[in-house]
Amino acid sequence: MHQTQTCHFWVGTIPEDFAASYFAEDYSDERGDDDPVSPFARDQGETWYDHDFLEYGWGIAPTLAELVAGYSYSEQWAAELSRRAEAAGLRGINFFVFIDEAQIEAPRSVETRDGTLHYMGTIEYSL
């Protein structure tokens, strides 16, 4: 049986320390049940997502394909993600994030004071 996974993808240009705080999950008693678990969840209109289905990376690389090399199944989706980023005219990308499509109902691009995450759509790949 041939299994596939479909993920949402974002790319952007952000400071190196951005991801640590943006994806940090708050499970403190002060957080209410309707409060987003992280800034990423908030910006995507979600209160929670399963972080086991999320990967992200920051780095300096000559190409997006080189930036994502080594991440789960990147050999199957790197070329398509690179093609989409190039078609959108995005340059200098140093950050990417992807998550299983079931985790985010209405994905969107996000502008923060630190930078922008550009939503690139979904990509399906084999497991």
The answer to whether the CB of 40 falls within 8 A of the CB of 23 is yes
Tokens matching residue 49: 């997502």
Task: For 58-80, write each residue's pLDDT tens digit.
Answer: 999 999 999 999 999 999 999 99
Q: E strands of the chain, at which residues?
A: 4-13, 54-58, 95-100, 110-112, 115-126
Task: For 14-43, write each residue's pLDDT tens digit.
Answer: 999 998 899 999 888 776 778 999 999 999
pTM equals 0.94
The answer to whether the CB of 109 falls within 8 A of the CB of 119 is yes
Domain residue ranges in the chain: 4-14+50-126
User: Percentage of residues in the chain with pLDDT exceeding 70?
Assistant: 99
Q: Is 15 in a helix, a strand, or coil?
A: coil
